[in-house]
Structure 1
């Protein structure tokens, strides 16, 4: 087992305080958005195997079977198939969607054939992988996830009293679910930018008034849109956001985000895990490129409940966040002092992250690592470790 030395990514939307508070360090005054744990080449964790700190992706590349296990290599190739993060949103992230595996492979091949550079701002597909993800809240966490029922979206938008939104209300009420959602999203993203900016301004002013009024239906939703407008004034993504479910997670609750599901994280601290991919198509709340044609091909226009997840407890104390994906498996342990140590023995690679209290790891050869909040460790496949302490530990691995 190895203690991980991780990188904090300073994206502009990051909180200036949440990750420092978790780590017990002084804020720098700059945004600290994501703490990465894993072997993503963009910011791989580092480990000490006796010759100083070495990037985890290099360690895995030197002997994939030993680090990941032969079964993992056979299924996913010679790389760690997931990336674990602590995510601290101080402002909204972009409204976005991810392709499924077949779409990612086809899209990547198409852009390669057309000679689109990997670093081009209009590039949609950076790799051939899909990017399902899950977020578990460590604090109250606001987000957008999946489409509302069109009739509900129509009620919410109509109550704003903005005349230029009336055609969207009519479409949402008149057509079948998938057609209504597709037509309205396409119309919002294809509208004249200046006209849409004026509509967004009027809509967010109305949302702020409704959020402050007593007994208003959707008051929390309107408050969220008004808050988004402070970060993205006039952005058409705010109108697109009104088509989506607004979700407020409590600590310990989670969201799973599959292919084609539009979503955005708005504010809060959480543990995020995802398949190792950089494929993102954006719908708004961003100055970056939006490929409307490709986006409309990838989005699943299906209204549904956002599906807030709560962990399922097993007899050994492990609490699993079940998800229909093989590239990652996320669970947690609530450790109590004086209880028996839990044996973590799997034929798959593991990352353990402490988020509260203290966790002690003890290997078969009696090596020990103590993890404080925000600290993590990598366990190679087949490595047996006993876990004890007093606090909360998240366990990331792959589905066996």
Structure 2
């Protein structure tokens, strides 16, 4: 006999309340970008090395996760390292546990290996996708329920000429964007000044000063005194948020900037874990942080960081790297249950052809999927399988 539960039929037996992995498949695709990019720490990037994990449960339910591999400049991971860690440390744990116990599942993955947050993130995302599909729910419902279904996303102004900067800023503002982040860290600094000033002048020309957030991201490119001087110069151009201006390990530098500037100092590379966030809070070093699943270890820790930030009245942005649609969709699920209005959820839009579909972005606004799980369709025919393992 079967019973109907949340729109999904399950066997009316005691074991219908447990869920185990029977098969895991790892895929790897290189996804070329429409326009290559380069910022202060990345070097030249013309394609994203995406890793996909498919988990199939004993009842046939399937969940997918995704992370980007070629971001060693940010996470310290490589594509090969993420895959190796999945095979040697993460998958053996997943085959042993009941996935319906989310807390225990998280703890097992967390304790399987030190660090390796990208490997933990892809497993965490796949598990959440699978469990929410098992219960017939959108993932945001499993996380407590959506507070919003439309997320206004930040747009980036890359390193480019003044003419391109003005053109890009106007196009974004005309399309409805009200949160613009300018990449900075050029030499000489005057190049940064001219580009930020150009964005601000376009904002003023369109009479959108009161509606628009202007941010910069220095990607750790300045030393402490240099950052203090540079940010004071840029403040006159409507600057409101400064993301990771100094090296990640310099909490004292972040604190000095936080205490001496009228803009919000956000941590990015300085916060890879819940412990990192707690330490910066105890140091009174930041005004906010950028939460990314690839560095936090997935959805579970990202939600914890959101809760901690809110409890300490810190601002936070839910975002990510330039990544594939599935990875971005996982962050969108976190954004849907959050209380923030700061998002960077367009990292997939620069990809020429993504093997996934279902995430809609229009006029700098991301629509939260309403389907079960992540709400994303994965075209497995476009994925390149590199490893498969079955439960013994």
What interval of TM-score do these two structures reach, taking the shorter chain for normalisation? under 0.3
Query: Whose strand proportion is higher, 1 or 2?
Result: 1
**Higher helix fraction: Structure 1 or Structure 2?**
2
TM-score by length of 2: 0.26
Larger Rg: 1
